[in-house]
Structure 1
């Protein structure tokens, strides 16, 4: 049974690999035996994380690229193939929110920062489509798995984060649509699914959820109250579902979303 969940012999690219959630992703893949391409714009962090993995006997390389730049992604693909000879998986972890895509408290909803909304949507949607276009063909030809990162805000209206919510809703649609189209062309050789994280503290949402002293803001308190587990998630709690989706254990799973949210989406608030 354990062999089904192993990533031994598989090579996986993680975009957003220099972020907080990305760090848990790469640690989990390494622990499952996978070789990792840590893709991000921060070369210092990517290289440090790759070195940490190789020093403990794992396999990892830093891939410095912007997920919105096709030429940089092409170079990253070639470097990954030169290092490991294959690409079996892709985790589209790049994305997140930006201040420009957040509606301020009491803000005029008919005077939105449209450029900011577009910027956040592009990062989350096209920041997933572009890597899939570049890395996906190799994965499809050899067989493997693509995992997108959605959000609870894709299906449940979360106040203020309009741009982010629209981008993640698009990810859900894209996941279903592209999984179907790949199945029509490649059969069961390549799969696409999405993780739906609940609330985890990251650098992007830290100021929205916590005060400088570490206590919760009123928004953070509301989120915890509406999460049945009454806490935020730990990024490492995403590892189990991610490794399952990347591994052969989920070989008949495609076009679906997997909630890892402490029950947030199941809770009606009553």
Structure 2
């Protein structure tokens, strides 16, 4: 059996853990033997996903978070270190879009609501930078770890009218290249 890419017993933290991508990835990694920590805003949904993972024999926990608040994310990290002793991987899957940061088919750039554009930038881009800063520290101390940031093809080419989302994802792609 090839164990080169095994995640068995690895502690994997997933922001946006109650979203479609975060939850599905968390469930899959738990089936592969990872100790999954889902982080998100929706406690009830997070608890439901963790219960499902545990019912299928996996190991998981859920922590309520706010990826734009360094104090909350630091507390999450401290709780994970207390429970598992380390963090092996961080998947930055938190994100989303808002109607006001999108140009409708009949709209123009003048229809963008700057406040909603800023919120989309914050949850996607800042919500990737803050967890990276915090969870990278124990990885550096351990001398190993992996971070996966979720971007989009919209970052490289304006495929749709999701201006705020595309700008945020372009920022994530640039941030990831910077880190590398």
Shorter-normalised TM-score: what interval? over 0.9
CA distance, structure 1, for counterparts of residue 36 and residue 140 of structure 2? 18
- 1:199-214 to structure 2, matched below 5 A, reads none
Once the two structures are superposed, residues 27-83 of structure 1 have per-residue CA deviations (whole angstroms, 9 ceiling, x without a partner) of 121122110111001111111211222232221111111111111111111111121
User: Paired residue for 1:74?
Assistant: 74
- 1:122-201 to structure 2, matched below 5 A, reads 122-142=122-142, 143-179=144-180
CA distance, structure 2, for counterparts of residue 155 and residue 53 of structure 1? 35
Q: Where do 5+ consecutive residues of structure 2 fail to align?
A: none
Once the two structures are superposed, residues 124-158 of structure 1 have per-residue CA deviations (whole angstroms, 9 ceiling, x without a partner) of 11010011111111122221100000001011212
TM-score by length of 1: 0.64
> Any conservation in 1 of the 2:65–2:76 contact (CA below 8 Å)?
yes
**Which range moves more in the overlay, 107-116 or 26-35?**
107-116
Once the two structures are superposed, residues 75-99 of structure 1 have per-residue CA deviations (whole angstroms, 9 ceiling, x without a partner) of 1111111211110000000012111
Q: For this pair of structures, how many residues does the alignment match?
A: 179
Structure richer in helix, relative to its length:
2
**Which range moves more in the overlay, 86-95 or 158-167?**
158-167
Distance 1:12 1:146, change over 3 A: same
User: Paired residue for 1:249?
Assistant: none
> Any conservation in 2 of the 1:102–1:160 contact (CA below 8 Å)?
yes
> Any conservation in 2 of the 1:5–1:32 contact (CA below 8 Å)?
no
Q: Does residue 103 of the first structure (1) align with residue 99 of the second (2)? A: no
CA distance, structure 2, for counterparts of residue 140 and residue 147 of structure 1? 15
Q: Where do 5+ consecutive residues of structure 1 fail to align?
A: 180-270
**Aligned residues: CA RMSD:** 1.3
Instruction: Kindly name which structure, 1 or 2, has the bigger radius of gyration based on alpha carbons.
Output: 1
User: Shift of residue 18 of structure 1?
Assistant: 0.3
SS of 2:39's partner is strand
Q: Does residue 38 of the first structure (1) align with residue 38 of the second (2)? A: yes
SS of 2:106's partner is coil
User: Paired residue for 2:116?
Assistant: 116
TM-score by length of 2: 0.94
CA distance, structure 2, for counterparts of residue 47 and residue 2 of structure 1? 33
CA distance, structure 2, for counterparts of residue 60 and residue 29 of structure 1? 10
